[in-house]
Chain A
Amino acid sequence: MRFRANIENAPIFFRIIQAVEKLQKKCIIKFTEAEMHIICNDDANEGGIQVWSVVKVDSIFTAYRIQSNANNQITMAISTEALLSALKSSSSSAASATVAATVLPAYDADEVVMKLAKKNDQAVLSFEMFGISRTGRRVRVAHDVRIDVMRPADVEKLREPLCPEPDVHILLPPLQKLRTIVERLRALSDVLAIRVNNNGKLQVSVSTDSVKVETQWTGCPNPPMARDAQAQEGEGDEIQDAVDKPDPDKMFSVLVSIRSFLKFLNSHVVSTTTIACICQNHCAILYVYIGEVADAGGVLTFYIPTVLDGDD
């Protein structure tokens, strides 16, 4: 099993882990030849939220080499906090939260090498940074993050949650803005209703005995989904579309735990574009694009299941 890569774009890597770190103490990272998958699927998560993300290797790494008996894939469980602090020291621009989610080169480390190693019979992911200190000296910083390499049999068992075909897709307003509003709503209720239609309307609302609050955006684009166009199930989808289209104003809604929705909103640090999909009364799926959509450097996918209660 061999694995080695240069981290070219540490700020993006840092921000992805930052978004995930709020969710779970440990996450699963699966490296394949072309992609890095970050998976948070702990059942104990707040409101059952899960993250399944795919990042293209090219958008973060260079000189990427991977080799294993399991189809050249390596899957590991890793502490998000430890990984975050390793990445933090690799890049001053990543560490300063004020920098917008633009792609900035690592400032103080010219080279960050990540590789799989074994130290004292313990598998580690070793981060080695070379840079120039402020006084002009060459410095080398190394972090070893303990990992558990997962057996291929266990990896096989990892399954993305199955969802029905979403009823509606919509482009969300800037997550930072959405977050401000949802944070206020958290003081008022535990359950958030998200309602979306095919006419650019998005509503988030809470409803309790003492107050009903509803915030509405209009004119949010409804992107046509590539998945629909490909029509996995042929005619079946077309009929479905034909049924849906006559009424673009029909609202599709899902109730989610506010706290888990806020966890998703933590990904505002990495997001440029976010698309929300609603499977009526089933779940919300949120695609957070890393970098510009056109680049398609990667996507963080959040699954938030509906809250099953009779509050509303």
Chain B
Amino acid sequence: MSQTQSQIMSQQSEVEEEAKPVLTASVHDVRYFSALLKGINLSNSNHASVTLTREGGMIVIVEEGRTLLATSYIYPDHFDAWDYTIPEPTRVLSSQLSDLSKADDPEDDRSTSFEIPLNTLIECLNIFGTANLSAATSSAKTKKWRRGEDESDNERGGDNEDNRGGGRGRHRQRESSNAPNNSRLEQYFGANHEKRTSMRLSYGGSGYPLTLLLAEDSTGPTTTCEITTYDPEPMIELPFDGDQTVLKIIFKSSSWLREALSELDPSCDKITFISNPADDVRRAQPRNAATKPLFRILATGSFGSTEMDYPNDREVLETFECTHPISVSYRFGHINKTLRALQSSTKTSLRIEEEGLLSLQFLVPVPKPRGGMSQSFIEFRCLALDDNAE
């Protein structure tokens, strides 16, 4: 992270003071924003790469050990206001630095990228101690996520077949059918009278700090945070080739995966996903059901191993597609890192590519400031362990 550029740039701040900041955004309740960041906070010392765009909002990426890539997609509609100005290259540059900033994002010059210490950002958001979604039981939590929607939502929660597309259609419908006034008010003032932290966020452009203005209410204290931003360093890229998908599973509820993972002993060092095409499994039964599981999670460690089999039941595995038998292992420590993201999500998709690349997507519903829900997601991509490359 070259901090030098940051320093040089900040010395020029007076000159550029009048320039419009690249980003100003605000949100009246930081809990969801905070949860989306916490879901990818792999370790306390990680730097996160943040990419800002006008349409896509904020994409935050964290990498670990050149193997695991965690991405959080935070869309503009999560914010009460999202005002992104494409930075003019002339404004960003100062002679020798222009090359640098060009090299940073060669593919899209309308986006802006920087790195920040993620843990610091999360600590700052929680300065008043009110940025946490309460750590209640899973059922209570699901309800919390859905606050502000109409009552019938609990029955409706499961009936969308397709992960993304269906979700989108669904909430549009919901928006119109809602009596939005009530729910809107409720969201603004909080259904119960707990305090919420609201935030105003701004970023002046390369070399400027990320500035947060946090407050609980108009009478209370205000907190200003200036988090130093660093020039982005290239992250590993783990492109997932959809055509090469061998296994695709959608867990109807994230708890089906969360409970399985939290059951496993933390001392495990390897986790293996074993899967067979549904037809093979049906033919093999009942003779050797044990050798041909539909979907099995196998965790091994120095104290033994744990196996968990999933049934071919639409109530559990909403979608199950497997083209040929597969068994891929990953480092348990990496998969275990997904637990925090799982906790705030309602639905999970698991895909494995021919090469063993794993993609886990966690759907995270976020109430929109103007009523209705927005579907956001956190994605983890993880490379397979080498020992079963075949």
Q: Is A215 in contact with B120, judged by CB distance below 8 angstroms?
A: no
Q: Which residues of B contact A217 (CB under 8 A)?
A: 220-221
Q: Is A184 in contact with B126, judged by CB distance below 8 angstroms?
A: yes
What is the interface of chain B mostly: helix, strand, loop, or mixed?
mixed
A180 lies within 8 A of chain B by Cβ:
yes
- Using C-beta atoms within 8 Å of the partner chain, give the interface range for chain B: 20 to 34
Query: If the complex has contacts A180-B129, A184-B129, A188-B120, are A210 and B223 also in contact, measured as CB distance less than 8 A?
Result: no
Q: Is B224 in contact with A181, judged by CB distance below 8 angstroms?
A: no
Please give the distance in Å from A277's CB to the nearest CB on chain B: 20
Q: Which residues of B contact A173 (CB under 8 A)?
A: 221
Q: Is B225 in contact with A209, judged by CB distance below 8 angstroms?
A: no
B128 lies within 8 A of chain A by Cβ:
yes
Binary flags per residue of B217-261, CB closer than 8 Å to A gives 1, else 0: 000111111111000000000000000000000000000000000
Q: Which residues of A contact B129 (CB under 8 A)?
A: 180-181, 184
Q: Which residues of B contact A181 (CB under 8 A)?
A: 127-129, 221, 223
Query: If the complex has contacts A184-B127, A184-B129, A188-B120, are A211 and B226 also in contact, measured as CB distance less than 8 A?
Result: yes
What is the interface of chain A mostly: helix, strand, loop, or mixed?
mixed
Q: Is A211 in contact with B221, judged by CB distance below 8 angstroms?
A: no
Please give the distance in Å from A20's CB to the nearest CB on chain B: 25
Query: If the complex has contacts A180-B129, A184-B126, are A213 and B224 also in contact, measured as CB distance less than 8 A?
Result: yes
Cα separation A148 to B302 with both chains bound (whole Å): 55
- Nearest-neighbor residue (CB-CB) of A209 within chain B: B228
Query: If the complex has contacts A180-B129, A181-B128, A184-B129, are A211 and B223 also in contact, measured as CB distance less than 8 A?
Result: no
B373 lies within 8 A of chain A by Cβ:
no
Q: Which of B117, B128, B220 makes the CB contact (< 8 A) with A211? A: B117
Q: Which of A185, A187, A209, A216 makes the CB contact (< 8 A) with B221? A: A216
A33 lies within 8 A of chain B by Cβ:
no
Q: Is B127 in contact with A215, judged by CB distance below 8 angstroms?
A: yes
Cα separation A181 to B124 with both chains bound (whole Å): 9
Q: Which of B117, B128, B222 makes the CB contact (< 8 A) with A210? A: B117
Q: Which residues of A contact B227 (CB under 8 A)?
A: 210-211
Cα separation A269 to B92 with both chains bound (whole Å): 52
Query: If the complex has contacts A180-B129, A181-B128, A211-B117, are A188 and B223 also in contact, measured as CB distance less than 8 A?
Result: no
Query: If the complex has contacts A181-B127, A210-B228, are A215 and B117 also in contact, measured as CB distance less than 8 A?
Result: no
Cα separation A211 to B211 with both chains bound (whole Å): 10
Q: Is B123 in contact with A214, judged by CB distance below 8 angstroms?
A: no
Q: Is B209 in contact with A216, judged by CB distance below 8 angstroms?
A: no
- Nearest-neighbor residue (CB-CB) of B223 within chain A: A215
Q: Is A213 in contact with B223, judged by CB distance below 8 angstroms?
A: yes
Query: If the complex has contacts A173-B221, A180-B129, are A213 and B124 also in contact, measured as CB distance less than 8 A?
Result: yes
Query: If the complex has contacts A210-B117, A211-B117, A212-B209, are A184 and B123 also in contact, measured as CB distance less than 8 A?
Result: yes
Cα separation A215 to B129 with both chains bound (whole Å): 13
Q: Is B128 in contact with A187, judged by CB distance below 8 angstroms?
A: no
- Nearest-neighbor residue (CB-CB) of B129 within chain A: A180
Q: Is B120 in contact with A212, judged by CB distance below 8 angstroms?
A: no
Binary flags per residue of B162-198, CB closer than 8 Å to A gives 1, else 0: 0000000000000000000000000000000000000
Cα separation A177 to B226 with both chains bound (whole Å): 22
Q: Which residues of A contact B117 (CB under 8 A)?
A: 210-211
List residues of chain B with CB under 8 Å of any chain A CB.
3, 117, 119-120, 123-124, 126-129, 209, 220-228
Sample of 8 further A-B pairs with CB below 8 A, known A180-B128, A187-B123, A212-B224: A188-B123, A211-B117, A211-B226, A211-B227, A213-B224, A213-B225, A216-B221, A216-B224
